[in-house]
Amino acid sequence: MSPSTGYTGVFKNRQRFAAQIRVAGKIKSLGTYDTTKEAALVFDRAVIQYKLPKNKLNFPNGLPTDDPNYDTLTNPENFKRRKLAATNTTGFTGVSKNGSRFLARITVDHKQQSLGRFDTPEEAALAYDRAVIRFKKSRASLNYPNGHKKQKTSRKKKSQARKVRSTNTTGYTGVSKNGRRFQAKINVHGSQKSLGTYDTKKEAALAFDRAVIQYKLPKNKLNFPNGLSKNDKDYEKLMNPIKKKRKLSSNNTTGYTGVYKNKKRFQALITIDYKLKSLGTYDTPKEAALAFDRAVIQYKRPRSKLNYPSGFTTSDEEEEEEVDEEEEEEEEEDSAANHAELLMVASIMSTLNKD
């Protein structure tokens, strides 16, 4: 027991009181507190946490219920916020202002470790608390000793877009302006991958989100964490890309990416490592387009290059067959009209000859 404070493990530290405990021959700091009683209770919690002899407890039977400060001391959420460094303007331990964001840091083995930057001081404080638990630091330094209670947020706030860099004029992560179109890029294991160019920034943002999921990157990078809203005016068009033809080179007359006319047949080509690779020749452009799509998947090329992003279905074939049938019917109608016209001309000529 300290003669100056009257409690085991509690010592005067200038105008405050420090709590310390010896575990396996090493002294561990449990933080500093405004009152001796606060520090003594923290010491007791550490005795229980480290499974030390109970005869070390300051309050073997717990703090008496008739103590004038019982409610405040036994409910850490009611504690007056711990005093922080005079330079700390955030109100949280391990959190400091960094430009327009908040930096979380923790000291482990006398070395300071960065825990990342966050949009709000509360987010940074929670990151610090998680690190306290992970590195088995004293729980006395937690910003939220009893855990953080999530506040209810309005739907409007949830739907707000994430903050992007001030240099990003598109409003979406991983999307940049490229001439009149929009380019999607993603950073994977330190190398940047192109995900293709798109007519709208929303298309590019969705391509970026698909890549985030494909490469198993943190979900906080998603432009649409809950997916594109069904109320979005472009929902049907964007979520069913098969119905929308991608823009092709002006010299491409087949209507498919990577497919070109080769005399009476159709050739499929793909570029791999800056080299053009032939995928064979086919009877129909559709067969060549499917061969190109298989190569896109095989060589792990961006899925934005697929002719059939959602896969080729029989409904597509039926649609094309319907078009062919319509064309055949039109040809038959034209043929019948021409035949009727010829009969009429022959009749007129016959009448003229009789006269």
**pLDDT, average across residues 293-315:** 78
- The two structure tokens encoding residue 78: 């009611």
CB count in 10 Å sphere of residue 269 = 18
The 10s digit of each residue's pLDDT in 222-269 is: 888 888 888 888 877 777 655 444 556 666 778 888 999 888 899 999
What does the pLDDT read at residue 186? 92
For the cut 50, the answer to whether the pLDDT of residue 337 exceeds it is yes
User: Do residues 238 and 201 lie in contact, with contact meaning Cβ atoms separated by under 8 Å?
Assistant: no
What does the pLDDT read at residue 137? 80
The 10s digit of each residue's pLDDT in 198-218 is: 888 988 888 898 888 888 888
User: Do residues 132 and 141 lie in contact, with contact meaning Cβ atoms separated by under 8 Å?
Assistant: yes
Q: What is the C-alpha to C-alpha distance for residues 253 and 260, in angstroms, rounded to an integer?
A: 7
Give 305's DSSP letter. Answer: G
Q: What is the C-alpha to C-alpha distance for residues 240 and 65, in angstroms, rounded to an integer?
A: 66
For the cut 60, the answer to whether the pLDDT of residue 69 exceeds it is yes
Q: What is the C-alpha to C-alpha distance for residues 262 and 268, in angstroms, rounded to an integer?
A: 10
User: Do residues 196 and 302 lie in contact, with contact meaning Cβ atoms separated by under 8 Å?
Assistant: yes
What does the pLDDT read at residue 268? 93
Q: Which of 24-28, 117-121, 141-145, 279-283 has the highest mean pLDDT?
A: 279-283
Mean confidence (pLDDT) of the chain: 78
What does the pLDDT read at residue 310? 65
Q: pLDDT above 70 covers what percent of the chain?
A: 72
User: Do residues 17 and 7 lie in contact, with contact meaning Cβ atoms separated by under 8 Å?
Assistant: no
Q: What is the C-alpha to C-alpha distance for residues 344 and 342, in angstroms, rounded to an integer?
A: 5
